A = this chain, B = another copy of it.
């Protein structure tokens, strides 16, 4: 039985008769192909990427598995439509905390049409993309109140995030206490989620090493998606040394991937390095953090 995913923080949503992705509950995520060429571009990327002999196996695992395309009834009741069949990155998780980070100070490729450039540059300058090299596209954090309770700032609020909001949400993301205007995020889960041999930082460093070398693809407007379950992280945080908390680090959204033509993706790499520095700061100084309230 296909239905809209329960936990979706960015992108179009399949609700209220809108076009959006569907999941089958058995591990597959169906993303409708957008008709303006973006859908075809994304199919072309997945096909090329997973068959490329120069992509090392440990890098493939950062990408959702690709299972071809499938014509399915669209979620907006507009009839049959081709969908990308991808791994459901949240499969098996009951209460995932997740954050979607769009990487790159620039979301437009070098040779894009003028109207696309104009649209992107405004968003890049109004968001933290230009200043930070990345921006938050969406976030949900399991609330201590219960497994089915989540803190989920509105999209409008996330759009208004400035540098300090991003800093704070990256701390809140690994905290056990709920977001509050009166309390600093406690960063109690920082070592369990960001740290450790399988944590977010270690995985991002692997990605970084690849981006320092690879000249195959340039990723514009793609995201790093970070996912973990608080229960597992709390259990891991109680252990010495910290065991794996089952954190998932994935790249998503490839409608604007270009050929690298022998040049590294300096735009994505720079943003990735900036994100890595933010997370290192949380790990190295979990006590820090401003007291200003977070936009909700």
Contacts and interface: CB of A to CB of B under 8 A. Distances in A.
Contact of A273 (B105, B106, B167, B212): B212
A283 to B, nearest CB: 14
Q: How many copies does the complex hold?
A: 2
Interface residues of A, number: 28
A270 interface: yes
Contacts of A106: 105-106, 130
A125 to B, nearest CB: 7
Given A105-B105, A277-B213, A132 B266 contact: yes
Interface of A: 105-106, 110, 121, 125, 130-133, 163, 167, 212-213, 215, 261-264, 266-267, 269-271, 273-274, 276-277, 281
30 contacts: A105-B105, A105-B267, A105-B270, A106-B106, A106-B130, A110-B125, A110-B130, A110-B131, A121-B121, A131-B263, A132-B266, A133-B266, A133-B270, A163-B262, A163-B263, A212-B273, A212-B276, A212-B277, A215-B277, A264-B273, A264-B274, A264-B277, A266-B273, A266-B274, A269-B269, A269-B270, A269-B273, A270-B270, A270-B271, A270-B273
Given A110-B130, A266-B270, 12 more contacts: A110-B131, A163-B261, A163-B263, A212-B276, A213-B277, A262-B281, A263-B277, A264-B277, A266-B273, A269-B269, A269-B270, A269-B273
